[in-house]
Amino acid sequence: MYYAVGLAGEHGYSRTRTLWQVGANPLFIASFVSSGHNDSMMTLFMVASLYIAKRHRTFWGGMAAVTVLALGVAVKPLALVVLPFVGLLWAGEYASWPRRFVYWALSLVVLFTEMWLMGAVTGLGFGWVSALSTTAGQFIWFTPLGLVIGAVVTAPGVSPETADHYKHIIEYIGKGLGMAGAILFAFFGRDREIVRRAGLAIIVMLVLSPMIQPWYLLWALPMIAATGIRTNFQLMWYFATTVFFMALSVSDQLAISPYLLDFDKHMAQLIAGLVCLGYVLYLLLLDPGTHALTRNTLMPKMLLAHIPRWSMRTRMNLKRAKAEYAAAKLLRSEQKKQRVAKAPSASQQAHKADASGKQQEGQADTSVHNNNSGE
């Protein structure tokens, strides 16, 4: 939290808003605080390395940032995604491409040297990297690749061996596209948004991954929140993804008490899912605090038109929202008309230029006439 808030200050963004968006996130509380997942350490080192590289733009500051990131890679190799962006911060804003490549190479050499030293001290070498690939070959149903893999595996007439072969091919394609997307964010984008680009690179890799756990969202959240989540569709997507993954974590990943061995786990998941769905609908439609945030943005007009009329509060909120939207639209229209009225047209500018030219010619003729008269 300290480094996320510090990054917000470095970018001139609200520290308080970042603190609430990261620290008060229910996924953060459930996965990183209550459960103490080891991904919290990896995220800590990633965010800390970006903060150090952004704050201390010196040679030793860059060395310290890469060293901290090496600790994150020791927790999980996925932290390597952040290395190109640490190198960009180390090279400095608006650095030339040769300078960027030099610092990318230097960052890579420093990181792998430190990783080799850690492996030599512990006696593990680099053998621990393969042991961390616990999700290899797994997929989950709601990811884009998971939907494709599920369709292939369950297709009629496909043998298990063929399905497994195609599943691995789809996984490799998805991972390759994710890595390519992350590399594109390292090469393209504004220099003042390097930290945000690091978060977006992680999101691209997650979207194209066959396996996404609820707490994976927290890998990129501090970087995105520290650089600004706008109060528009960005904030709505933040709420929507948080609610979805939180509902998934409390309904799909259930541990049934050993005293209820005869209780069907799928029935427990169904009950938990329905409870979560009911609470989400309450937040969207009835709760006075969250409903004010989601109206006009998250729910389309077709959905708003079919909301039950039994909620007087909801009806009043919808009327007020429609009135505010109409007033804002009218204000934008009036402002546009005023700008058009103030801006002179091309014909008016040409007429003004002709009049000015004629006036200057008249003044010149008058001065010549006066000179002739004097002579």
Please tell me the distance from the alpha carbon of residue 277 to that of residue 282, in angstroms, as a whole number.
Answer: 9
At residue 359, the pLDDT reads 60
For residues 331-354, give the mean pLDDT: 69
DSSP 96: -
Residue 46 pLDDT level (bands cut at 50, 70, 90): very high
Please tell me the distance from the alpha carbon of residue 162 to that of residue 154, in angstroms, as a whole number.
Answer: 11
Residues 15, 9: contact at Cβ < 8 Å?
A: yes
Average pLDDT along the chain: 77
Please tell me the distance from the alpha carbon of residue 41 to that of residue 47, in angstroms, as a whole number.
Answer: 10
At residue 363, the pLDDT reads 57
245: which 2 tokens? 């993954």
Query: Per-residue pLDDT tens for 135-153?
Result: 555 777 777 777 777 777 7
Which of 308 and 44 is assigned the larger pLDDT?
Answer: 44
Residue 215 pLDDT level (bands cut at 50, 70, 90): confident
Residue 372 has pLDDT above 70, yes or no: no
Which of 152 and 97 is assigned the larger pLDDT?
Answer: 97
Residue 302 pLDDT level (bands cut at 50, 70, 90): very low
Q: Please report where in the chains the tokens 């991972």 appear, as a residue.
A: 175
Query: Per-residue pLDDT tens for 149-200?
Result: 777 777 777 777 777 788 888 888 888 888 898 899 989 888 888 999 999 9
Please tell me the distance from the alpha carbon of residue 168 to that of residue 140, in angstroms, as a whole number.
Answer: 14
Query: Per-residue pLDDT tens for 104-127?
Result: 999 999 998 988 888 888 777 776
Q: State the DSSP string of 287-344.
A: -HHHHHHHTTTTS-HHHHHTS-TT-HHHHHHHHHHHHHHHHHHHHHHHHHHHHHHHSP
On whether the pTM is more than 0.95, the answer is no
At residue 304, the pLDDT reads 47
Residue 310 has pLDDT above 50, yes or no: no
